[in-house]
A and B are shown apart, each in its own frame.
Chain A
Amino acid sequence: MATPIQRLEVTLDTELESVDLAENIVMRVAEAAGFDQDEVHKLGMAVREGVVNAYNYGNAQDRQKKILLTVEFEQDQMVVHIVDEGNGFQLEDVADPLAEENLLRTSGRGIFLMKAFTDELAVRRGPTGGADLIMCKKLPGPKAGGCG
């Protein structure tokens, strides 16, 4: 039987292909961790949205910059970090896409979807000042700890 992954760290280039790559990596890890297909899909989507955020807004599509993806298991939950090299942001500064005045906007739903598809979402300051998006998902089972 293969040794289960405890921590996986991947450095991604700031390019569109990294979005699919990150999503696929996390989905494989989630499958191996025992999540059902629906939860695997949701985790994949959340990570996709996070990496798109890092690509578009954090790193502003600058190919010189990198995106760090980390997946780890702690206290019966899966924790994903997506760190960019931008200027960081605050979750409370993100407009509510469900507000009437924002429904016809063509962007701004990524953070909302990340929250919808994970148990907890937080943003911290990364080591170079960019955003460290932290997503937590309780492992299949009864126990869970806090996020980040």
Chain B
Amino acid sequence: MPLQGTCREVGDIAVIDFSGRITLGEGSAMLRKTIRDLISNGRKKILLNLADVDYIDSSGIGELVGAYTSVRSADGELKLVYLTKRVRDIIQITRLFTVFDVQPDETAAVRSFR
């Protein structure tokens, strides 16, 4: 299933609920565009809900890293929540738990923003 994302607000936090696959092509392009649009709209607090993302490849991981650095460069914060096992395993073996702020649930994630 191609990646889809819907945006909702929790206070001043933009929560993007993604579903599908973050892979080379449409999926990673969609993620990139979503983040770019949020940044250009001045959003500083972004939470990516990956509960329904069941697959990510190295291109998708690269896009997540790119999203993280882009948001950080804009003096914002980007966090992840609800990783599926497969996504968690990829982030684990690529040592990206040392980069991403992965929160256990949305309540904790919302509380953790500055």
Contacts and interface: CB of A to CB of B under 8 A. Distances in A.
Interface stretch (B35-43, B86-94, B101-109): B86-94
B57 A49 contact: yes
Interface in B1-55: 23-25
Given A41-B86, A97-B94, A109 B99 contact: no
Given A98-B95, A103-B95, A106-B65, A16 B24 contact: yes
Given A52-B24, A104-B65, A110 B58 contact: yes
Interface residues of A, number: 20
B62 interface: yes
A99 to B, nearest CB: 9
Interface of A, secondary structure class, is helix
Contacts of A19: 23-25
Interface residues of B, number: 21
A105 interface: yes
B94 A112 contact: yes
A113 interface: yes
Interface string A73-112: 0000000000000000000000001100001111101101
B7 to A, nearest CB: 23
B66 A103 contact: no
Interface in A46-66: 48-49, 52, 56
Nearest to B94: A109
A42 to B, nearest CB: 10
Given A49-B58, A112-B94, 14 more contacts: A19-B23, A45-B57, A98-B94, A103-B95, A103-B96, A104-B99, A106-B65, A107-B58, A107-B62, A109-B61, A110-B58, A112-B58, A113-B58, A113-B93
Interface of A: 16, 19, 41, 45, 48-49, 52, 56, 97-98, 103-107, 109-110, 112-113, 116
